[in-house]
A = this chain, B = another copy of it.
């Protein structure tokens, strides 16, 4: 049975994995998610972990993407340097079992003295292009723990930059001197926008963060608004990085609606229009686009 007749696609991340059974017409017939992410599996345990997926979904070819191709995964799939197209990604698949089990490689970018890597977002991004969720040329903002700014030109990824916005917010919310002020959810009101404006000025984060405490102590910022301000500050700095890559390209925000909304407000504060798209089906679309190219 070849790839064109259907296959299994697995989004295999650090803490969980999600597997999809796709038929020859591209429909998803069955799927499951479990907490058997890369960190939960010993290096020698990957063949058994993959067999378990086939036991549930069928004895079919299997396309794996995400951290399963990292140094802590099954087999390291070397990064493909940018610029990279969907065709190159397919040619550079890392075959664990020839013809039967392949890992999608991640991408690297070393342009302009920056050093960056992605693993897992590339298949979603190419899927979003293949499914016409996003245009073939754009700057795509992909918010999350590690926000990715991805420059897409004529269907290829030419450059990208990761900003550790979500992780930094979590660190500050859970630990350290500001955590006592940062309990509530974030709203995109005036304190958020004030933070954004400070961030867009490319202020120095470690200096601004202490000022949050001082603002609260001196009465210039309400304690309940501190999390909004910090979120705005981090996203404002983040937007500044992204717009530096963007040129005149259309700004697309692809991710969780709550986060996308914050980035949309922040982009508007920078005088930049943006469009939010849901990326929910992008992974499957990317897997199908790669699967259809495998001979």
A contact residues vs B (CB 8 Å cutoff) = 71, 79, 108, 110, 114-117, 146, 161-165, 167-168, 170-172, 174-177, 202, 204-207, 209-211, 213-215, 217-218, 220, 234, 237-238, 240-241
- Beta-carbon nearest neighbor of A169 in chain B: B206
**Chain B residues within an 8 Å CB radius of A163:** 204, 206-207, 210
**Chain B residues within an 8 Å CB radius of A209:** 164, 168
**Chain B residues within an 8 Å CB radius of A116:** 210-211, 214
Copies assembled: 2
Q: Is A115 a contact partner of B218 (Cβ separation < 8 A)?
A: yes
**Chain B residues within an 8 Å CB radius of A204:** 163, 202, 205, 237-238, 240-241
Q: A116-B210, A117-B218 are in contact. List 7 more A-B contacts (CB 8 A).
A: A114-B211, A162-B211, A164-B207, A165-B206, A170-B176, A204-B205, A206-B238
Chain B CB within 10 A, most for which of A71, A206, A241: A206
A203 CB → nearest B CB, Å: 9
Given contacts A175-B175, A177-B167, A202-B202, contact A161 B207 (CB under 8 A): yes
- Beta-carbon nearest neighbor of A14 in chain B: B177
Chain B CB within 10 A, most for which of A171, A174, A215, A217: A217
**Chain B residues within an 8 Å CB radius of A202:** 202, 204
